Amino acid sequence: MKKIISIALVLLAMVVTITGCNSYKPDTSGFTKEYVEKEQRFLNEFKNKYENATTDADKELYAFETGFRYMNLGKYTKAIKYYEIVLKLNPEHPQALNNLAVIYEEMSEFQKALTYEQKLYNKNATSTEVVMDTIRLLVKNKQLNDAQGVLDKFASTEEGKSQGDFLSEQMQYLTEAREKALE
């Protein structure tokens, strides 16, 4: 029976891929009832505060928190909606940009993820976290030369010069990605 279910899931995944249907659903099976109830309470509270906000600053804050709670509950489509609201109010909101990149990467929509990550990178090209995330998404999007360029640029900065272990790890990651691409 398990084998039949596995085959059915593989076939379903193939149909979704072939038809281009984006029906990604995160795995929320490990969520406890208490966790879901707590997040839902937070979600309801922040959504209500967003709907009643009178200033752009409050709308931005509560839209972000609403998106964050939707994201925590695995409701990515709704989370995206609220993060987009945040970006309309503040196009450079770093957490909204980061969370959108995370959501789209989770959904295997690497080009969309990269769009948001590159906005973060353009703002903070010396953050090891941002550099690492940008390189990873460029590799997933098969842009290995661009990933190398990001690493080279970081290596030439004062911050990069002090991050030998990080540079070494990223160089190894890129080497492995190139080898995999050649297979």
Q: What is the DSSP letter of 25?
A: -
* Tens digit of each residue's pLDDT (9 = 90 or more) over 56-66: 999 999 999 99
The tens digit of pLDDT for each residue in 19-54 reads 333 456 777 778 899 998 998 999 999 999 999 999
Q: Identify the weakest region by mean pLDDT among 13-22, 90-99, 166-175.
A: 13-22
The Cα angle at residue 136 between residues 121 and 181, in degrees rounded to 5:
135
3-state class percentages of the chain: helix first, strand second, coil last, to nearest 5: 80, 0, 20
The answer, yes or no, to whether residue 116 has pLDDT greater than 70, is: yes
Whether 166 and 150 have beta carbons less than 8 Å apart is answered as: no
Which residues 6+ apart lie within 8 Å of 127 measured at CB?
A: 120
Q: 71-102 pLDDT, tens per residue?
A: 999 999 999 999 999 999 999 999 999 999 99
Distance CA 74, CA 35 (A): 12
Banded model confidence at residue 15, pLDDT cuts 50, 70, 90: very low
Q: What is the 3-state secondary structure (H, E, C) of 69-107?
A: HHHHCCCHHHHHHHHHHHHHHCCCCHHHHHHHHHHHHHC
Q: How many CB atoms lie within 10 A of CB 150?
A: 22
Q: What is the mean pLDDT of the chain?
A: 87
- Total residue count of the chain as it appears in this document: 183
